[in-house]
Amino acid sequence: MIDYSKLLTKRIQQVRPSGIRKFFDIANEMDDVISLSIGEPDFSTPWHVRQEGIKSLEMGKTWYSPNRGFAELREEICKFFDRHYHVQYDPKTEVLVTVGGSEALDLAVRCLVEPGEEVLIPQPSFVCYEPMAQMVGAVPVIIETKEKDGFRLTPEELRAAITPKTKLLVLPFPNNPTGAVMRKKDLEAIADVIRGTNLIVLSDEIYSELTYGDQPHVAFSSLPDMRERTIVVNGFSKAFAMTGWRLGYAMGPKELIAQMTKLHQYAIMSAPTTSQYAAVEAMRHGDADIVYMREQYDMRRRLIVDGFNEMNLTCFEPEGAFYVFPCIKRTGLSSDEFCEKLLYAKHVAVVPGSAFGNCGEGYVRVSYSYSINHITEALSRIHDFLKQLGC
């Protein structure tokens, strides 16, 4: 008998499996489940974008793309980023097209962080940052953001977490799961702390097009002195409802992008070709699609926040992404218990906040990338559930 645990690296065995999984296995077995758990757009990719992908297939454009991605796409990405966030990047040397934003995050961590160095990770946040740091032998240092601060990273908390070993700060805003957004003044306060340190910022801005209210998203690299120490990660999944196409990008100083490109070249080769042809169309002619989808999300966001507040599950008002993060402490249940009971009693699936870091305990993540009818039905079931609990 082979003892595989002796063959596998200690690092991978120490990485915890995602806590969300067990939960979905239960939900999958049930009929009639109303889910508010899925973290991707309910829209299909805009038709004109899909058509460009189809056209490229019809024309037999099925070869590899250059490692960095097609030059045409890199140019369009730079134009888009300049048009939306007013930061200029050189398409030849400062952009790398990746397999989703996730690959870009992984490349950045692997190229920048030495074993034993510290990676600062604000939580609650998406589940991948900690394992990525662990896989390079780095020390993940968790910064717990709080509801009273609107789940924003505060300069005080950041300053307190920095040590001589700190290499990288992950900046996951707009945030999954809380919906928190860092406005310009919040980012400036962070920049003030970072100026004069050797920190590199890995700014995961994948939800940048999904912010609500009159202030648009501010790219961290647009702040003075920050461009030279920031790797921006973004992509097509959330803005253009293109999750399945697996396409994202990283932008940053050419010295960093060059090394990330080397790793990408050996590990991945190049991002999917069909997706890149479609993405060119999205960047050129997709602005109106974004506006339409954002408006739809915004109406659902208001509806769902209102619904939770009505039930006295106080709900921090999210300003970005497509999640709300209501506090369930009032029920006396843990996040896990709440979700499990809700699933068994009312067949409604939401995700325990604790899946996004220990400080997510006492909250649940509810996605509103669902139709209005679906959301109202789920809200009414949750309402009944609370009544049954006597809350």
Partner 1 sequence: MDRLLTLLHENARLSNKQLAAMLDETEENISTAIADYEKQGVIRGYQALINWERVDTNKAIALIELRVSPKKNRGFDEIAGKVMSFPEVDSVYLMSGGYDLAVTVHGKSMQDVAMFVMRRLSTLDSVLSTATHFILTRYKESGVIMNQEEEKDERRDVYCD
Would you count residue 238 as binding partner 1 (CB under 8 A)?
Answer: no
Smallest distance from partner 1 to CB 141, Å:
26
Smallest distance from partner 1 to CB 77, Å:
24
Smallest distance from partner 1 to CB 87, Å:
30
Q: Which is nearer to partner 1, 35 or 222 (CB)?
A: 35
How many angstroms separate the CA atoms of 253 and 231, rounded?
Answer: 8
Q: Is 303 exposed, middle or buried (0-12, 13-18, 19+ CB in 10 A)?
A: middle
The torsion region of residue 225 among left (phi > 0), alpha (psi -120 to 50) and beta comes to left
Q: Which two tokens stand for residue 364?
A: 């649940």
Chain centroid to Cα 166, Å, comes to 22
CA geometry: angle 357, 384, 124, nearest 5 deg: 10
Would you count residue 24 as binding partner 1 (CB under 8 A)?
Answer: yes
Would you count residue 376 as binding partner 1 (CB under 8 A)?
Answer: yes
* Span of 32-40, 79-87, 115-123, 285-293 interacting with partner 1 by CB under 8 A: 32-40
For partner 1 (CB under 8 A), the number of binding residues is 24
Amino acid at 131: P
Would you count residue 37 as binding partner 1 (CB under 8 A)?
Answer: yes
DSSP states along 85-103: H-----TTTSEEEESHHHH
Would you count residue 373 as binding partner 1 (CB under 8 A)?
Answer: yes
Start-to-end C-alpha separation, the chain: 54
- Does an H or E element contain 273, and which? helix 273-285
Would you count residue 38 as binding partner 1 (CB under 8 A)?
Answer: yes
Chain centroid to Cα 224, Å, comes to 25
Would you count residue 270 as binding partner 1 (CB under 8 A)?
Answer: no
Smallest distance from partner 1 to CB 303, Å:
5
Would you count residue 261 as binding partner 1 (CB under 8 A)?
Answer: no
Q: Name which position in 14, 15, 18, 387 contacts partner 1 (CB under 8 A).
A: 18
Q: What is the CA radius of gyration of the chain?
A: 21
Would you count residue 14 as binding partner 1 (CB under 8 A)?
Answer: no
Return the exposure string of 263-298: e unless at least 16 CB atoms fall within 10 Å of the residue's CB, then b. Answer: bbeeeeebbbbbbbbbbbbbbeebeebbeebbebbb
* Span of 178-186, 193-201, 255-263, 303-311 interacting with partner 1 by CB under 8 A: 303-311
- Does an H or E element contain 294, and which? helix 287-310
Would you count residue 345 as binding partner 1 (CB under 8 A)?
Answer: no
* Span of 24-32, 65-73, 142-150, 153-161 interacting with partner 1 by CB under 8 A: 24-32
Would you count residue 88 as binding partner 1 (CB under 8 A)?
Answer: no
Q: Which is nearer to partner 1, 91 or 248 (CB)?
A: 248
Would you count residue 300 as binding partner 1 (CB under 8 A)?
Answer: yes
DSSP states along 343-354: HHHH-EE-EEGG
Would you count residue 175 as binding partner 1 (CB under 8 A)?
Answer: no
Would you count residue 265 as binding partner 1 (CB under 8 A)?
Answer: no
Would you count residue 40 as binding partner 1 (CB under 8 A)?
Answer: yes
Tell whether the torsion through CA atoms of 101, 103, 105 and 107 is positive or negative: negative
Would you count residue 380 as binding partner 1 (CB under 8 A)?
Answer: no
Q: Name which position in 14, 302, 314, 345 contacts partner 1 (CB under 8 A).
A: 302
How many angstroms separate the CA atoms of 6 and 62, rounded?
Answer: 41
Would you count residue 26 as binding partner 1 (CB under 8 A)?
Answer: no
DSSP states along 69-85: --HHHHHHHHHHHHHHH
Q: Name which position in 267, 269, 291, 372 contacts partner 1 (CB under 8 A).
A: 372
Smallest distance from partner 1 to CB 299, Å:
4
How many angstroms separate the CA atoms of 225 and 387, rounded?
Answer: 53
Residues within the interface to partner 1 (CB under 8 A)? 18, 20-21, 24-25, 28, 35, 37-38, 40, 42, 295, 299-300, 302-303, 305-307, 370, 372-374, 376
